[in-house]
Amino acid sequence: MKLLILDRDGVINQDSDDYIKSVAEWLPLPGAVEAIAALSKAGWTIAVATNQSGLARGYFDLATLEAMHAELQRLVGEHGGRVDAIHYCPHGPDDDCACRKPLPGMIEAIGRQFDADLRGVWLVGDSLRDLEAGLAVGCQPVLVKTGKGERSLAKPLPAGTLVFDDLAAVARHLLQNS
């Protein structure tokens, strides 16, 4: 199985320090939807792992989050692809859960869902906590410069981290080399 795990905010769609609180605020980054669709059509299994503490903070409700994810699925579907799984952590930073990145709970759940060995699976994120969650289970860390990616580049990255301009560049690389 060719499995790719993606963070959401800052990788697939625009991010905001004020949180993405509505479908109207959920705006795909240029080329991201097309990149997901192209990978999906090429046989990749696409999974999303996203911290969504806005739920715990009361900034939006579950129906709104599901509507954002339905919009992602709709847009990717319009390009002939699909997102195979979306896992989210609804907890706040002080809720002591195992799923909130940088902890690996969501990534492990994706591995169980697809009965996949996560060693070497590319995990694409825009923050250190994304990369740390993947590293905890042996994923290949991949940083994109979108979202908080440029800020993350200013910090020491885990050894072996691959860096790309955006998700479209990741997709081009994977499609040319797989």
Question: 130: part of which helix (H) or strand (E)?
Answer: helix 128-135
Q: Tell which residue, 59, 121, 3, has the closest CA to residue 68.
A: 59
Sign of the C-alpha dihedral, residues 96, 64, 36, 162?
negative
Instruction: Tell me the helices (H) and strands (E) count for the chain, helix number first.
Output: 6, 6
State yes or no: is 94 an active-site residue.
no
* Local structure of 123: helix, strand or coil: strand
DSSP 118: -
61 is catalytic: no
Retrieve residue 51's tokens: 């911290």
Give catalytic residue positions: 7, 9
